[in-house]
Amino acid sequence: MKNDIQLGKSESVADTANVLSRFLDGITYRCFAHADVSELAENSDVPVINALSDKHHPCQAAADLMTIMEKFDDTEDLKISWVGDGNNVLHDLMLACAMLGIDIHYAVPKGYEPDEGVVQRTKDLAKKNGSKVVATNDPIEAVKGAHVVYSDAFVSMGEENMEGKANDFDGFQVNEELVGHMDDDWKFMHCLPAHRGDEVTDWVMDHEQSIVFDQAENRMWAQMSLLSFLINPAAWDAMAEFMQIE
């Protein structure tokens, strides 16, 4: 628990990493400052899994792309859109889409752009894999003809003292009117917890084309496979052979 371990406070991160590496086969760490999980990883002898930092949310992205690939047989002409903050979840969604050659269009309010370094990495990957990365401040432009719209809380964990931040997101709610601009077979995604009435309405969240709970379930499957890949390579190899994954 965060108040018990006091990472980097009563003991240096490197010392904690050293101790935990002797106890454990892997460390899953949810933090705020990304530098904390990076420092832990640099000083650990066992795999460190970032379970969320203010910059990245890779475990979420693994489940998200698993969900997208389950719902759409062909990702060739797929358009994924994001409407909201330029945050950790967007960072890894755009990186994951670009890794798999899937187009990503994101709309953020002015002043809430994603990290420039992450955007550049995404563009490099997209170029290599033949997909698009398109930024706008207009939610309608981002979702036009899109197959998926993804949203997240306007105010992330650790930002609770950023009073008034949510006021900058007028027009960024995913609602019936906004999804009306999408492909008829639109899907709605959210990393949860959702703030119904803020970034998404009940109508969208509870719609039969909302796939948020499939996505939530896939967090379990994706994270199980991540653990077996990192910690139990023999089990991973056996499963990969069974599933015919290269």
Catalytic residues: 30, 57, 60, 152, 191, 219
Which residue, among 130, 151, 129, 147, has the nearest Cα to 139 in the 3D structure? 151
Q: How far is the CB of 54 from ligand NVA (least distance, A)?
A: 7
* Cα–Cα distance for residue pair 17/46, rounded to 1 Å: 9
Site for ligand NVA in 172-211 (CB under 6 A): 191
Identify which of residues 20 and 191 has a Cβ nearer to ligand NVA in the complex. 191
- Choose which of 152, 182, 188, 200 interacts with ligand NVA (CB under 6 A): 152
Q: Under the criterion CB under 6 A, does residue 33 sit at the interface with ligand NVA?
A: no
- Could you say whether residue 87 binds ligand NVA (CB under 6 A)? yes
Stretch that binds ligand NVA, among 11-19, 85-93, 176-184, 221-229 (CB under 6 A): 85-93
Binding test (CB under 6 A) with ligand NVA, winner from 20, 89, 95, 97: 89
Report 92-151 residues binding ligand NVA (CB under 6 A).
Answer: none
Tell me the CA distances in angstroms from 165 to 31, 113, 159, 181, one per residue in order: 21, 14, 9, 26
Interface segment toward ligand NVA; rule CB under 6 A; list 7-15, 82-90, 120-128, 132-140? 82-90
88 binding ligand NVA? (CB under 6 A): yes
Closest separation in Å from C-beta 159 to ligand NVA: 8
- Closest approach, Cβ 57 to ligand NVA, in A, equals 6
